[in-house]
Structure 1
Amino acid sequence: MERKELAVELKHNGNNCAQAVLCAFEDEVGLSKEELRKIGAGFGVGMGCMESTCGALCGAQMVLGMKKYDGKPVLRDAAGILKEFENRCGATVCKDLKGRDTGVVVCDCDDCVRHAVEIAEQL
């Protein structure tokens, strides 16, 4: 199964978007699924209120840190992830992606998870 589809399956089985992205990289980051679920627990639904950054994007940024951080800043890569996610999904804030205020869904959760995983795979 492709990693992005694994992440979507994880999302539909008790994980928020951040946890789903993180757990899809369990084999690469050296932490257990339970540890990754704990790390991502507070990042779903735009940090619990739809007012903040998409959990899938947060998960991709955490994967970046675990895969590439070696004591030197990864800010350029982090900015690249953010821009690529926004290009693919149309926004970065949960409420904007889900159309909470407009009634127009820009990108659904499953596709946000897929895009976040694809972007993180490119690291």
Structure 2
Amino acid sequence: MEMDKRAEQAVAYKHKDCNCAQAVLLAFAEELGKSEEELRALGSGFGMGMGCTEATCGALCGASIVMGLLNQSGKPTAAIMRDILQEFQEKAGATICKDIKGIETGKMLCSCDDCVRHAVRAAEQHLG
């Protein structure tokens, strides 16, 4: 699937009653071989920054699950996720939900839609 097409599909899922992690997971449903119900359940605990604690961005959590299930590179998934986290931080300005949303500063660094896009693109890049 074309990278931007998958990223936009993930954003559409985000607007269809999904949290950011679920949206990223659903964008990879075909490759993951899981039903929408299973992927929604798998990502259900990662909304609003993992467990609604405004911690690690849910989109990044979704990308990590995708990488863990689909990584065939021979490189450990944790090492790939370090790279993805760094790339994501450069694009979004942070990796922690409350920092991205500007909860304490009043200055949003990146929209949730763009976080989903960045996470999907990063996962695709590291899978392909």
Q: Secondary structure of the equivalent of 2:50?
A: helix
Following superposition, the deviation at residue 87 of structure 1 comes to: 1.0
User: Structure 2: which amino acid aligns with 1:108?
Assistant: S
C-alpha distance in 2, partners of 1:58/1:82?
10
How many aligned positions are there? 123
Aligned ranges 1:84-95 → 2 under 5 Å: 84-95=87-98
Q: What aligned pairs does 1:54-93 form with structure 2 within 5 A after superposition? A: 54-68=57-71, 73-93=76-96
Q: Distance in 2 between matches of 1:15 and 1:51?
A: 16
How far the C-alpha of 1:51 sits from its partner, in A, is 3.0
The sequence identity of aligned pairs, in percent, is: 58
- Where does the alignment leave 5 or more consecutive residues of structure 2 unmatched? none
Residues 1:37 and 2:28 aligned together: no
The residue aligned with 2:106 is 103
Q: Deviations over 1:18-70 (max 9, x none)?
A: 00000000011111111010000010101233431000010011110011169
TM-score, length-scaled by structure 1: 0.93
CA RMSD of superposed structures (Å): 1.8
TM-score of the pair, normalised by structure 2: 0.89
Moved more, 53-62 or 1-10: 1-10
Matched residue, 1:16: 19
Segments of 4+ moved more than 4 angstroms:
69-72
Q: In 2, distance between residues paired with 1:17 and 1:120? A: 14
Structure 1 unpaired stretches of 5+: none
